[in-house]
A and B are shown apart, each in its own frame.
Chain A
């Protein structure tokens, strides 16, 4: 059964690999298409050098880095572009203060923009190859892992569906067989997650040097990104273990039902008795839903009345709930499978 489950996992991972491989191919095509744009600054500069009288100076710094300086005496704007090649560009823009600016720091992917003000001069520093919050990688990895977890999410029901004579006549206890099968699936889910991260890094590496930011919430994203798909998988397994057929419907409807429960448990149904009762019922059911405990917010209080903030105001309890759900659902699946008869 472990071998059979491994074959199932292998087949699923093969499909995941094909899809991720295609995305890498698309990235490669894009990389080749943008080659000219990325190679030197001439194309880039032609887009921004529009003002008459603007002076453009090219130089090579002592460390070999090509530098382009654009000076616009009319607007009193000064731009310095250090072309770090594969390492991106470091751009410093100084301009006169035209209106009130506040100090700001924005990160979009690997592009980091820092704005500051000194006297009458406003400075914007743009790094196009800064560290990317690992959270972004984990969002994609989580998506891949959740899809794989959904596909694999009924390992014991699949055995019930006509294979118990194989499964139950092996020299191992049912508990051992079930744990092994689920273990293989869990490895597959984590592998899908890792594959997605690697594919994303490979795609990124075609354009720039990948740098990762593991600070703050990013570590939490990794932990919850692993725990959530596993808890989701365990929930589907527990929900289907008693079935011999028709388990596909449970797996198929799991997503819309889980999202509806989450939403219905979050929104307000008015102040009526019925409304409150409905809200409370869904709120309670939502406690069993692994999706409930997902939140990448560093300020849970900003989530208002969402179940995530109410049930798990910080990361620790949320992660703990995912792990507790994982264990409960695995135990429930084992209990049911021990009672199944061929």
Chain B
């Protein structure tokens, strides 16, 4: 299937811009996490990728080729909400998939459903929200597809089954499949994803490999003797992504040169200067939180 390329994707609904100028390249055989707050455009991006919604502009290519119906033999999708047929049994859903997709493994589907504790004879309407999600995940994984797109695949699941789904994602990637998933459980994304993109208000806010993002981004924290301090010569540095000030405490989100900035804060009179490693959740929040505590505000802070 090879690389998936999304180029300058834009999707509008009337005057509302759901996705705007979103470009990302997802290498083959990787686990890609798409993060973003509610309403950021994650699901719309997935829908555009799958032809469920028509992009207003932009291109989406699978191995250099646009999406055609036959491509779906190699793409499995788990939507955020349940799309199971309420009146059908789980077994009938399995049969439906078997009839539709050449590579679908009934045995694997049955094993996975058993693992999730889902009975084949149950009707979909009798399943809990988590069980429906798990059923959809099992049906998608059993397709043994090249690309697996999962929108909130752990939504509503108990911690044990969340772990099961996460393991499935990792297993799929180790098999060679490209896995693209979104989740509000950033810890899960951090554990499973190799690369991520953060989308905020329809626009790409951040992207890169999890390891690179974590190693590049640090918080340099210092405590000044009083609230009247200045960050002369620091605030305008392009390596600073953000400055948070809370009373006497200042936190700089920096991309590279953390030790250098620590020295500068120390030179400005800050005490207790330290460099803090960030987890993915911090990086995410810094990327999407409202940019109130910007450098400009700090520059105007009392001296």
Contacts and interface: CB of A to CB of B under 8 A. Distances in A.
Interface of A: 2-4, 7, 11, 162-166, 168-173, 176, 341-342
A223 B107 CA distance: 47
Contacts of B47: 341-342
A168 B51 CA distance: 8
Interface residues of B, number: 27
Interface of B: 47, 50-54, 69-73, 75-77, 79, 81-83, 85, 87-88, 92, 95-96, 99-101
Nearest to B50: A169
Contacts of A3: 92, 95-96, 99-100
11 contacts: A3-B100, A4-B85, A4-B96, A7-B88, A11-B87, A165-B50, A165-B79, A166-B85, A170-B100, A173-B69, A341-B47
B77 A169 contact: yes
B88 A4 contact: yes
Nearest to A158: B85
A171 B100 contact: yes
Q: Which of A2, A168, A172, A176: most chain B CB closer than 10 A?
A: A168
B56 to A, nearest CB: 12
A341 B70 contact: no
A162 B81 contact: yes
Contacts of B81: 162
A341 B95 CA distance: 26
Contacts of A171: 69-73, 100-101
A176 to B, nearest CB: 8
Nearest to A339: B54
Nearest 6 pairs of A and B residues by beta carbon: A342-B52, A165-B79, A171-B72, A165-B83, A341-B53, A171-B73
B101 A168 contact: no
A263 to B, nearest CB: 37
Contacts of B87: 11
A11 B51 CA distance: 31
Given A162-B81, A171-B72, A342-B53, 4 more contacts: A3-B92, A3-B95, A165-B83, A169-B77
Nearest to B96: A3
Nearest to A341: B53
A298 to B, nearest CB: 45
A3 B52 CA distance: 21
Contacts of B70: 171
A170 B95 CA distance: 14
Contacts of B95: 3
A173 B52 CA distance: 12
B85 A163 contact: yes
Nearest to A2: B99
Contacts of B52: 164-165, 168-169, 341-342
